[in-house]
Structure 1
Amino acid sequence: MKVLKFGGTSLGDWERFSQVASILTDEAAQGRIAAVLSAPATITNSLIAAIDNATKGQSVQAIVEHIDTVFNHLLSGASPVLGEALESEFKVRFAHQLGQWQQKLKGIELLGYCPDEVQADFVVGGERMSAALMEVLLKAKGVQAGQLDPKQVFLAQGGILESAVDIQASRERAQNIDLNANQAWIMPGFCAANDEGQTVLLGRNGSDYSAAALAASLGASQCEIWTDVDGVYNVDPRLVNNAKLMSKLSYQEAMELSYFGAKVLHPKTITPIAQYHIPCVIKNTFNPSAPGSVVSRETDGSEAVKAISNLDNMTMIDVAGPGMKGMVGMASRVFAAISNAGVSVSLITQSSSEYSVSFCVASNDAKTAQDALERAFELELKNEFLEPIRLKSGLSIVSLIGDGMKTRKGIAAKFLNAIAAAGANLVALAQGSSERSISAVVNQQQVKNVLVASHRCFFDDSHDIDVLLVGAGNIGKELLEQIKGQQQVLAKQKIRMRLCAVTNSSKMHLDEQGIDLESWQDELAASEQAADLTKLRAWISDAQLRNPVLVDCTSNDAVAQTYPDFMAAGAHVVTPNKKANTGSLGYYQKLRHAALVNKRQFLYETTVGAGLPVIDNLKKLVAAGDELHKFNGILSGSLSYIFGELEAGMSLSEATKIARDKGFTEPDPRDDLSGMDVARKVLILAREAGFNLEIDDINIEGVLPDNFDATGSVEEFMQRLPELDAWMADMIASAKQEGKVLRYVGEIDEQGCKVGIAKVAADEPLFSVKGGENALAFYSRYYQPLPFVLRGYGAGGAVTAAGVFADVLRTANWTREVTQ
């Protein structure tokens, strides 16, 4: 025989009720079954509310009408299936039950209170009506069905409102039932009978417990708990988006999960089925084809940690003081006092110095526990052998659970790292001697962050990159296009790259779940949040970003000054912005120190040579012990293009105009022609090579002669530029007579650094470099007389964006660390 249980959400309306009936019909066709039913959703709460109103002398009419409406809607849906006789049978039962409810409510109102035995019999009426309607519905479908009375099957012990089934006695009772009399048995959940024959309740999750107890009493082959989820998840799916369904788990794992907050099964439910080794399957009423989760003696040992649970609304109580140390029996007295107060303890820790013992209780019980301790230790508190009892509320217990944790090394360390990555404060840590669980106490407001970080740490082998884009101009847009186009390739490499923040000069849009790369521009335009780097930095600290990467695609000095603060907030920094590395030497050194102490990456490959791997190669040479003796290079794609066109016979003004129109130059070509951009790149290379220089130490000769008037608007400048065409043509002709070409070159040698127009001979590496190419020649201790040369295209947003993209990818195997 198989036992199936259906909860209130599975029976809440006719469509759902009918679905359950279809499931039971199909199951009954396969073999004998017993179904345990809860009351339809809202009914039990309504019945309890009716009792509360009646004791206070308040009206119960609206509540009774609601209950009547719920069952009449169910009957209305069932009516076409039932036929006249079966419909009449249920109407008689419901009318009788409704009359009993109304009669008892009048009595409760007269008494002004409700005795426990009356309440118990009153609230299980919802379950009885569910069972009654299901019985007639199955009969209408041709299933031989009958009712099991839980008061005849179950013998329970304990309080009227919170009893436990005596399984052995109930098994003996069940032997007197002729189970062959029906193919399907229907039983109301949530209740049993005590020795005196009174109706008693089975407490929280009572219907689940009823099903487990019935399976144990009948010796069922399997128990199924049908609910509104596909099974047991390895973390609360309401808090963690990518929670995973567990196909199987052991009784012990399920017990630990339920004890530490999982809502699918209660510890009371697990005990009977574990005792008699009955598999329990958690299935979804609304997705019956799903396999569900199996709780049995077997477990899936492929993962050390099986699941993560959270138990909220906890308070930690500290009993501390010099009177604790070396005093035999103090802990015993503490927990005896708590036990006598009827308070359950969820977690215990004690300091090795014996100075204090701490434990967690439900916050609702905290005051009761405190009062009990103050009474038990009144003398010690009065004489200051103990400090005042301290309570810390607003806590949650987050627990790792899994049979595979036994003897596995490093589990606790990974757990602590995940808590730190979540930016949470660890209040206490405890591990069970079975090694099946490790529990951490954290502030409840941080519990979601801890769950997300822990789930990523133990169940997600993807490398996350959370992009925070500052600057949505040409390079920024091109970068996002490249990221969008590479999503499938990145997924194959288990790299999950998301755009989590984007900001321009006026607005920003933030979404820790990821911004759609198809519609980011519309979302940014629609955002009502003003651009604010301080708020962005604070958001990074609060949001659950596993690997945040600030990508600065501006040329703004103010943005560059914020890099250390972003690193302290846990973000890497990737940028083509040269302002940070060419500011003061002190700030340059501060950046490296910030990256070091915060264990973050500061990547700026595209500040020199666009997409060429210049910085990385230079760093590797220096790290390997090489020394830079001399450098010269063409470091501007726009000037490379212009001087290439000059060599081909084009005038300076025409070449500059075409380069501007193609987007090779800055919007104001004077920014390129001044040589300052090349000077900044030379300064970066010099500093990377170990030269402690400032920008003023570089001798800068621009393309334009000093006596040329380069003032005014861009258009005015462009109109005057032809005045230099003849001058430039003479320079080109002079170089040509020497068998040389003109190039705009940056140089580093023992005399210092300079940038300017140079005549380049045919046997030099830079002779053939033009058309927007960059080329860099490093002469070092290892590379001489032939230099180490890097050469490639160096102009345009696509090349720069590709270089930024490559830098961003270098952060893939990092995880967030927070140092403040």
Structure 2
Amino acid sequence: MKVLKFGGSSVATPPRIQNVIEVLKPYLKEEIAVVFSAFGGITDTLIQISTLALEGKAAYKDKLTEIEKRHLDAVRELISIQKQSSILAQVKIKINELEDVLHGVYLVKERTPRTLDYIMSFGERLSAYIISEAMKDQGISASYLDARNVIRTDNHFGYAKVDFEVTNKLIREHFRNKKEVQIITGFIATAETGETTTLGRSGSDYTAAIFAAALQAHDLEIWTDVDGMMTADPRLVKKAFTVPQMSYEEAMELSHFGAKVIFPATMQPAMVNKIPIWIKNTFNPTFKGTVIHAESTNGKLIKGISSMNGITLLNVQGSGLLGVVGVSMRLFATLARERVNVILISQASSEHSICIAIESTLANHAKRAIEKEFQNEIRNEEIDEVQIEGDLSIVAVVGDGMKHSPGTSGRMFSALGKNGINIVAIAQGSSERNISVVIRQSDVAKGLNALHEAFFLSDRKVLNVFLVGTGLIGNSLLQMIEDQFVKLAKENLLEVNVIAIANSKRMLFNEEGLTLKRGIEEMKVKGEAMSMMGFVDRMITLNKTNSIFVDCTSSEEVTDCYERILASNISIVTPNKKANSGSYEKYYSLKNVAFQRGAKFLYETNVGAGLPVINTLNDLLLSGDKVISIEGVLSGTLNYIFSTYTTGKKFSDVVKEAKEKGYTEPDPRDDLSGKDVARKILILSREAGLQLELDQVSVQNLVPEDCQGDMSVEQFFKKLERHDASFEKLLKTAEAKGEKLRYKAVLREGKVKVELGSVDSHHPFYSLSGSDNIILLTTERYHERPMVIRGPGAGATVTAAGVFADIIRIGHYAK
């Protein structure tokens, strides 16, 4: 014997019902029984209709008409015309019966749990009857069985307890001489007093298990709309996959904490009788699915991660709890009397507080009951007023493999912590099969994805990137991500997923990830108006794991959002110098927020484009070294100008040439002013531990006074020509000494200068050429021979490469 059960989604429409019949046909060679739920959505509609009737709203009649039409239409579509009339009449009789009950609720304005159970029973009674007749019409020997005839329960309406001794006897007697395939109503039963009861929402699974146990079936198959038990909710975790097999205990834990594929009570009859439970997909019938049986044998540390929303924590605390015997008994007895189910319990060893998690709908009722029970202790200030914290969820990591496996909880808490998810409460049973944590409901999707990566995709991390700035650097970065995508996944086990891009005018989001080749063009066409606050709001609301905000602009408006972004546990990578070269207070605040929130704030490209300057400096300081001085040529543009400027050339012509080659800013005065170099040396000074402000940096402005002010670039170049002689004089003076001009930044003895000077042939700056940058770090360890860092210091490609390296660095940290 094999028992199969099909859920509401599997029989939601006539085509789906026909599909189920096709699935069943190969099974007809063996002995089977089939349990059906109500048509998809019908049970919820019946509850809604009864609520309308209870409220005295005549609109319930319209909803009832819709239910009637849906079932009559199913008969007309599934059954041949010549056989329809009697079946339509039977359906109509059931609908009339339902109408009478609802009319009574409407008149008396009362709906008892007993009445509601009776109303809900019509869903299964109609669906199983229609499907049995459709099967008969196709030549299948089938017979309709109302489970109320054989399943006996107590009269706990809404969630009745089965009397297995009587039920098993009735089921076996019924099947003794039945050769037809029994088409059974799920979910419903009969109390010993004769009233209709229900086995709890999703109780059709339970019905199937009851029949399987009574008939000693060799298999129980639960057919639903997913490919078995998943590692996590696939609606929230896109990379979730099917678990091939798990133990009864693992499945019970997962289903209790929100995995809706199987009803928790289903496991008990199957477990007692050691009947394997198969979870299969009606819409993918060839897929093997998941088998739930006695042993968990595939060696995985955990089998799944599930969540339960709508949770409230109640905290009972006070000095009166310490060492007092019977407090817990009184607390839980009170909740039991009030029919409040406790989902999770957490108590510190100090005994100062007991924390319990319950459904949010019962929170206020539970609070009043507890405070009434402990009113004397509260009055005497031995126990505080019960504290309530809502909008929470429970996330549970489940697996038999966790037993005696050190590090499981560490991996769990590390994954949540690195993604800024605060744990409100923790519980772990002595079986070591389940570690449950309470977190904010708004963090559920992020938490599930973080844990899924940590336990199931630990060999690969997904980095979710939000990019602002699609100019030369941003564009180059996107190209690099695309070019390196396969290599990153294969060699670095990182997947960079660009969720959003924006420029100063438009922004485009795609939660699944943008197509990099067409991303910028799509943004220009499909993007919405750009608002920096709106961009940040959306990014924070998405609450993605391993989120990285990349700022490839030079905008201060963007840097003004950094603190909020870091405070939301989103890491930042940026070549934008405005944040770190603004006020020291802002610089320190950003570093502090990043540290406190566990987010990364990486800005290697602030100083030397792709050169490893800041990381090298920080590594020296972390190892205990001390900076004596820093010297640097920190502008690729100015180095190109002064390494190209030789006798016979005009200074203004060299600057024009640099602009034409794209080395300068659109207005070369931005480079010649030295402000950019000043910002870079200020950042290095701060990294070295000095609390300096930008106005404390002495800067030589190379823009002649009459070339400053409001004028076009063309006007600037005309005026600059008048100063060629003065620059030529500086050049000849240097050459006469056998030296070369270099625009240098120097930090020494706590003072910072940026100026044009000359260096002799023994100086490391002498041989510098092109747009290279060079930095000399003189430290206590590197005193006689300073550490030299040299390489390309300008250009979108090298800067984008530095940004990309910082993104990858965060990816390795996330592991």
Q: TM-score range by the shorter chain?
A: 0.7 to 0.9
Equivalent in the alignment of 2:73: 73
How has the CA–CA distance of structure 1 residues 766 and 710 changed in structure 2, closer, same or farther, with 3 Å as cutoff? Answer: farther
How has the CA–CA distance of structure 1 residues 792 and 442 changed in structure 2, closer, same or farther, with 3 Å as cutoff? Answer: closer
Conserved in 2, the CA contact under 8 Å of 1:630 and 1:747?
yes
Alignment of 1:774-789 (within 5 A): 774-776=773-775, 788-789=787-788
Equivalent in the alignment of 1:792: 791
Equivalent in the alignment of 1:715: 714
Conserved in 2, the CA contact under 8 Å of 1:33 and 1:185?
yes
Please tell me whether residue 813 in structure 1 is matched to residue 812 in structure 2.
yes
Q: Distance in 2 between matches of 1:558 and 1:126?
A: 58
Alignment of 1:61-460 (within 5 A): 61-79=61-79, 82=80, 84=82, 86-88=83-85, 90-101=87-98, 123-159=120-156, 162-177=159-174, 182=179, 184-195=181-192, 199-299=196-296, 302-320=299-317, 324-366=321-363, 368-370=365-367, 372-373=369-370, 376=373, 387-388=384-385, 391-417=388-414, 426-460=423-457
Of the structure 1 ranges 339-348 and 628-637, higher mean CA displacement relative to structure 2 is found in: 628-637
Of the structure 1 ranges 697-706 and 305-314, higher mean CA displacement relative to structure 2 is found in: 697-706
Q: Distance in 2 between matches of 1:769 and 1:94?
A: 92
Superimposed CA distance per residue, residues 143-176 of structure 1 (whole angstroms, 9 cap, x where no aligned partner):
3333445344434344465433333443334443
Equivalent in the alignment of 2:486: 488
TM-superposed deviation, 1:794: 2.8
Q: Between Structure 1 and Structure 2, whose CA radius of gyration is higher? A: 1
With the length of structure 2 as denominator, give the TM-score of the two structures: 0.85
TM-superposed deviation, 1:747: 5.5
How has the CA–CA distance of structure 1 residues 372 and 513 changed in structure 2, closer, same or farther, with 3 Å as cutoff? Answer: same
Alignment of 1:538-549 (within 5 A): 543-549=542-548
TM-superposed deviation, 1:343: 3.3
Alignment of 1:555-566 (within 5 A): 555-556=554-555, 563=562, 566=565
Conserved in 1, the CA contact under 8 Å of 2:739 and 2:759?
yes
Partner-residue secondary structure (3-state), 1:230: coil
TM-superposed deviation, 1:512: 6.3
TM-superposed deviation, 1:658: 2.3
Conserved in 2, the CA contact under 8 Å of 1:28 and 1:183?
no
Partner-residue secondary structure (3-state), 2:262: coil
Alignment of 1:374-773 (within 5 A): 376=373, 387-388=384-385, 391-417=388-414, 426-461=423-458, 462-492=460-490, 493-500=492-499, 502=501, 504-505=503-504, 514=513, 516-517=515-516, 518-520=518-520, 522-523=522-523, 531-532=531-532, 543-556=542-555, 563=562, 566-582=565-581, 596-621=595-620, 634-647=633-646, 650-685=649-684, 700-701=699-700, 712-725=711-724, 742-746=741-745, 765-773=764-772
How has the CA–CA distance of structure 1 residues 357 and 439 changed in structure 2, closer, same or farther, with 3 Å as cutoff? Answer: same
How has the CA–CA distance of structure 1 residues 396 and 144 changed in structure 2, closer, same or farther, with 3 Å as cutoff? Answer: same
How has the CA–CA distance of structure 1 residues 53 and 712 changed in structure 2, closer, same or farther, with 3 Å as cutoff? Answer: closer
TM-superposed deviation, 1:94: 2.9
Superimposed CA distance per residue, residues 312-338 of structure 1 (whole angstroms, 9 cap, x where no aligned partner):
334444555555444433332333333
Partner-residue secondary structure (3-state), 1:332: helix
TM-superposed deviation, 1:225: 1.4
How has the CA–CA distance of structure 1 residues 157 and 796 changed in structure 2, closer, same or farther, with 3 Å as cutoff? Answer: same
TM-superposed deviation, 1:215: 0.8
Equivalent in the alignment of 1:10: 10
Superimposed CA distance per residue, residues 290-315 of structure 1 (whole angstroms, 9 cap, x where no aligned partner):
32222221225544333333333344
Superimposed CA distance per residue, residues 383-412 of structure 1 (whole angstroms, 9 cap, x where no aligned partner):
666555555554433333222222333444
How has the CA–CA distance of structure 1 residues 477 and 26 changed in structure 2, closer, same or farther, with 3 Å as cutoff? Answer: same
Of the structure 1 ranges 593-602 and 285-294, higher mean CA displacement relative to structure 2 is found in: 593-602
Q: Distance in 1 between matches of 2:511 and 2:556?
A: 27
Of the structure 1 ranges 210-219 and 54-63, higher mean CA displacement relative to structure 2 is found in: 54-63
Conserved in 2, the CA contact under 8 Å of 1:507 and 1:525?
no
Superimposed CA distance per residue, residues 95-114 of structure 1 (whole angstroms, 9 cap, x where no aligned partner):
44345445666677788767
Conserved in 1, the CA contact under 8 Å of 2:449 and 2:545?
no
Of the structure 1 ranges 700-709 and 713-722, higher mean CA displacement relative to structure 2 is found in: 700-709
Partner-residue secondary structure (3-state), 1:812: helix
Partner-residue secondary structure (3-state), 2:258: coil
Q: Structure 2 counterpart of 1:189, which letter?
A: G
How has the CA–CA distance of structure 1 residues 147 and 688 changed in structure 2, closer, same or farther, with 3 Å as cutoff? Answer: closer
How has the CA–CA distance of structure 1 residues 590 and 351 changed in structure 2, closer, same or farther, with 3 Å as cutoff? Answer: closer
Conserved in 2, the CA contact under 8 Å of 1:395 and 1:442?
yes
TM-superposed deviation, 1:3: 1.0
Q: Distance in 1 between matches of 2:100 and 2:630?
A: 100
Of the structure 1 ranges 788-797 and 643-652, higher mean CA displacement relative to structure 2 is found in: 643-652
Partner-residue secondary structure (3-state), 1:721: helix
Q: Structure 1 counterpart of 2:11, which letter?
A: L
Q: Structure 2 counterpart of 1:256, which letter?
A: E
Partner-residue secondary structure (3-state), 2:173: coil
Partner-residue secondary structure (3-state), 1:361: strand
Q: Distance in 1 between matches of 2:56 and 2:583?
A: 79
Q: Structure 2 counterpart of 1:396, which letter?
A: S
Q: Distance in 2 between matches of 1:494 and 1:303?
A: 20
TM-superposed deviation, 1:260: 2.6
How has the CA–CA distance of structure 1 residues 559 and 102 changed in structure 2, closer, same or farther, with 3 Å as cutoff? Answer: closer
Conserved in 1, the CA contact under 8 Å of 2:629 and 2:777?
yes
Of the structure 1 ranges 295-304 and 282-291, higher mean CA displacement relative to structure 2 is found in: 295-304
Q: Distance in 2 between matches of 1:666 and 1:684?
A: 21
Q: Distance in 2 between matches of 1:628 and 1:393?
A: 51
TM-superposed deviation, 1:186: 1.4
Conserved in 1, the CA contact under 8 Å of 2:443 and 2:543?
no
How has the CA–CA distance of structure 1 residues 565 and 337 changed in structure 2, closer, same or farther, with 3 Å as cutoff? Answer: closer
TM-superposed deviation, 1:39: 2.2
Partner-residue secondary structure (3-state), 1:294: strand
Partner-residue secondary structure (3-state), 1:309: strand
TM-superposed deviation, 1:92: 4.9
Runs of 5+ unmatched residues, structure 2: none
Q: Distance in 2 between matches of 1:696 and 1:45?
A: 68
Superimposed CA distance per residue, residues 419-478 of structure 1 (whole angstroms, 9 cap, x where no aligned partner):
555656544333223222233334545544544444444444333444444444332333
Runs of 5+ unmatched residues, structure 1: none
Partner-residue secondary structure (3-state), 2:143: strand
